[in-house]
Amino acid sequence: MSEEKPPVEHCKGVNGLEKVVLREVRGSSAEVYLYGGHVTSWKNDHGEELLFVSNKAIFKPPKAIRGGIPICFPQFSNLGNLEPHGFARNRIWSIDNDPPPFPTTTSNRAYVDLILKPSEEDFKIWPHRYEFRLRVILGPGGDLMLISRIRNTNTDGKPFSFTFAYHTYFSVSDISEVRVEGLETLDYLDNLQDRARFTEQGDAIVFESEFDKVYLSTPAKIAIIDHEKKRTFVLRKEGLPDAVVWNPWDKKAKAMTDFGDDEYKYMVCVEAAAIEKPITLKPGEEWKGRLELSAVPSSYFSGQLDPQRVLQG
């Protein structure tokens, strides 16, 4: 029996930038801009937006879109002479019409394949040849999956190293009602204290002020519990040992030109990443990093919010 392929629409988004809309039969959807290879929308089957995008986001190169899922490559953060969080998030990606086979089955799923290769200008700032393939998949239940494959295509025999993050902005009802589970007792680098290393104490993470930490060697699953919305986001990741948790809070929010003064209340970034130990690829080698996001009603857990069950399941 032949299966009907879910619709994938190519159209223009804000400022005429090209985007791809993935739709799933039960009503969920996702949008991916070629600018940045950037997922800017992920909606459940009730049409509710699950990602945060700032009302002041600037959809115009060279500014990366503030919200959604920026891709940080070839560096996370602001080290050396590369631009902060690398350049992948503000380059125009192409549709990859003929990607090498992916192991993940996509037979009845809506998906799109994008590719980024260095331009001659990029080569001057980061002197390496690579192919970065990104597949964005919307699953039948509305789950969103991103698979990145980065291959070293240098012809000079040289390896390269990079750090990476899926800088995901989740939409939340009120940051003071949010808890992140799965990172307690882990070591982290505190970006607000010159990346000093500490060990997380106590219970789940809650938010009362600016927060900017890189958790190290994290488990494959992390949960974000939004008490007010009665919704739990579950992140599942592979190839991405670290996890950044960020909320700018009020002062930094005011300092960002593309972010509303109060918007910090409605977002939290939990970013599946590879930061502490950069990934090194020799010519011909390929790295893969996978992120899977699902959003489930918290009431699903027998009326009682039990994040441990989310993390164990």
- For binding to ligand BG6 (CB under 6 A), which residues are involved? 64, 84-85, 167, 191, 212, 244, 246, 269, 271
Catalytic option among 38, 167, 181, 292: 167
Structural tokens at position 223: 């949960």
Beta carbon of residue 66, minimum distance to ligand BG6 (angstroms, whole number): 7
Q: What is the CA radius of gyration of the chain?
A: 19
Residues in the chain: 313
Beta carbon of residue 271, minimum distance to ligand BG6 (angstroms, whole number): 6
Structural tokens at position 273: 């990443």
Pick 9 or 250: Cβ nearer ligand BG6: 250
Beta carbon of residue 191, minimum distance to ligand BG6 (angstroms, whole number): 5
Nearest to 267 by CA among 278, 275, 276, 256: 256
Catalytic option among 24, 181, 263, 271: 271
Pick 112 or 214: Cβ nearer ligand BG6: 214
Structural tokens at position 303: 């009326």
Pick 144 or 244: Cβ nearer ligand BG6: 244
Pick 68 or 307: Cβ nearer ligand BG6: 68
**Which residues have a Cβ under 8 Å from the Cβ of 66 and sit 6 or more positions away?**
53, 54, 56, 57, 58, 169, 256, 258, 259
Handedness of CA 230, 235, 236, 241 (dihedral sign): negative
271 as an active site residue: the answer is: yes
Pick 138 or 273: Cβ nearer ligand BG6: 273
Structural tokens at position 294: 């699902």
Q: List, as one string, the DSSP characters of 137-190.
A: EE-TTS-EEEEEEEEE--SSS--EEEEEEE--EEE-S-GGGEEEES-TT-EEEE
Beta carbon of residue 53, minimum distance to ligand BG6 (angstroms, whole number): 13
| Helix, strand or coil, per DSSP, at residue 286 | strand
User: What is the set of active-site residues?
Assistant: 167, 271
